[in-house]
Amino acid sequence: MTNHYDVIIAGGGAAGLYAALNLPASLRVLLICKRELTLCNSALAQGGIAGVYDSPEDDVQLHKQDTLVAGGFKNNTETLSILVNEAAQDIGRIIDLGVEFDRNPDGSLHRTLEGGHSKHRIFHHKDATGFEIVSKLLQTVRTLPNVEILENTLLCGVAKTGTGFSVDTLHEGTYTAFHSHFLLLATGGIGRVYEFTTNSAIATGDGITFAYELGAPIKNLSLVQFHPTAFNNRHTRECFLISEAVRGEGAYLLNAAGERFMQRYDDRLELAPRDVVSHAIILESRRQDSQEFYLDISHKDPEFLKHRFPMIYENLLKQGYDLTTDRIPIFPCQHYLMGGIDVNADSRTALDRLYAAGECSHTGVHGNNRLASNSLLEALVFSRHAAMDIAKHLSEVPDTFEEHSFPHDPDAPPIPQGLRTEIRHIMQHSYFVIPDREAAAAGFERVARIRQMLLEGNYRINADYIEAKSLATVAYLILKEVI
């Protein structure tokens, strides 16, 4: 009975944590985290959380319209209405939980502006908003006696049973199966399918892969967002993000000649939505035959910049750049996924008692391109909806637990080396900001073969295998939509 839970949550970011604290206290909940709890895309979010909260000069319809414009009017209007109308509820809730947003001298909440927004509506904690939110949510969840947390625990397999789900986990070399009536996947994004990404090391699309293998519909996985202003290091796979808020505070985008160039591509200049700016940079790079681009905010007060962007300032200093005086080298980089496990307005998939929330899910709120700072809001609003929907269906579940066993071959060999590197190379060169359709078709054939080999082969079930299989599956699904 110790391995039986009412709800298992896979993922310890904003969506997973907020779902846990919104579930009824009477339920036994297991939260499984792939690595340490603060290593997640939510914690890396710099800019803030968008929403109309105690904002007499703003309006939810303006927030909705801005999101529609950024999303190319391909948004799901039902879920989008939920997002903007319920933003105040969840922003107020996390403030009550201790989240500290920056304030003006008079004590009122400070709101900043980011690309695509018509109003100052982004609440932030300097430039580390995601970490502040995740930390305060985690503090609360740790106090809940009904929630058990397993860190550094790899999800190795998921099976549908007659009473819910069984999951196979690996922790410190030991495999353990857990069983539940409900399963919520909050496993984050897919950034590690690219050579360069702003995502954390855990973002390999595991939850999407398990959902696909279970038969849950996956939708619009090819809607990948590339952030225009990642620090152009190119020496590390994880690229440090220069927040959208820096442009919101007045930074200029410069080409290799040190000239502003956005006027050639969009009237909104540096404050155009992310996909527009990323496309502009690629087109400008072709025009100038150079990938040298810069972000320059040195014309602003140095003390203001140090106070407003302390994390960005310190991280850039470590790389040899001073935000207050230097032009910062930037280039587009994989950042976010708009598609994912298809869910309804209550985060429920087509598979009975399977839910998904956060970046791994597809609610449709973002359309073809996510508006800045809507991601944390989506994670909160729809993970709460998942918790509420689970509570509504408790009477439908049995008291028993059917257990699925997961066999393991102790003599199975490891996977061949280099598979993940090859997949990343294929994706980076075939499906970046402006896709190469010919390369995508050839890449699809190769990743399909890699995926089939991993599925049919008898390999050791460990992090190398799970992540390679996930990356192959994600790349397969993305390129399948493209060709």
Distance CA 357, CA 11 (A): 10
Q: Residue 147 phi/psi, 5° resolution? A: -110, 125
DSSP per-residue codes, 27-85: S-EEEE-SS-TT-SHHHH--S-EE--SS-TT--HHHHHHHHHHHTTT-S-HHHHHHHHH
Residues 328, 247: contact at Cβ < 8 Å? Answer: no
pLDDT-derived band at 235 (thresholds 50, 70, 90) equals low
Same domain? For 424 and 471 the reply is yes
Same domain? For 293 and 244 the reply is yes
Looking at residue 242, its amino acid is I
Domain count along the chain: 3
Q: What is the mean pLDDT of residues 236-264?
A: 90
Distance between terminal CA atoms of the chain? 48
Average pLDDT of the chain to the nearest whole number: 94
Helix segments in 143-198, DSSP class H: none
User: Which sequence positions are flagged as catalytic?
Assistant: 274
Burial 299-328 (b: 16+ CB within 10 A, else e): ebeeeebeebbeebbebbeeeebebbebbb
Distance CA 348, CA 390 (A): 9
200 located within any domain: no
Same domain? For 296 and 360 the reply is no
Question: Is pLDDT above 80 for 39?
Answer: no
**Torsion angle of C-alpha atoms 155, 147, 5, 9, degrees rounded to 10:** -40
Looking at residue 446, its amino acid is R
Residues 155, 210: contact at Cβ < 8 Å? Answer: yes
Which of 348, 367, 396 terminates a domain? The answer is: 396
Same domain? For 442 and 457 the reply is yes
The CATH number of the domain where 10 resides is what? 3.50.50.60
Same domain? For 458 and 391 the reply is no
Residues 128, 311: contact at Cβ < 8 Å? Answer: yes
Same domain? For 182 and 248 the reply is no
DSSP letter at 310? H
pLDDT-derived band at 2 (thresholds 50, 70, 90) equals confident
Distance CA 80, CA 77 (A): 5
294 located within any domain: yes
Per-residue confidence (pLDDT) for residue 38, from 0 to 100: 67
Q: How remote is the C-alpha of 483 from its chain's centroid?
A: 25
219 located within any domain: no
Q: What is the mean pLDDT of residues 20-45?
A: 83
216 located within any domain: no
pLDDT in tens, 301-356: 999 999 999 989 999 999 999 999 999 999 999 999 999 999 999 999 999 999 99
Same domain? For 42 and 20 the reply is yes
Same domain? For 88 and 167 the reply is yes
Question: Is pLDDT above 60 for 41?
Answer: no
pLDDT in tens, 43-96: 566 679 999 999 989 999 999 999 999 999 999 999 999 999 999 999 999 999
222 located within any domain: no
Per-residue confidence (pLDDT) for residue 236, from 0 to 100: 67
Among the listed residues 196, 199, 198, 370, the one whose alpha carbon sits nearest the alpha carbon of residue 274: 370
Residues 464, 415: contact at Cβ < 8 Å? Answer: yes
Same domain? For 124 and 95 the reply is yes
Distance CA 154, CA 152 (A): 7
Range of the domain at 34: 4-189+338-396
Distance CA 83, CA 356 (A): 16
198 located within any domain: no
Same domain? For 37 and 140 the reply is yes
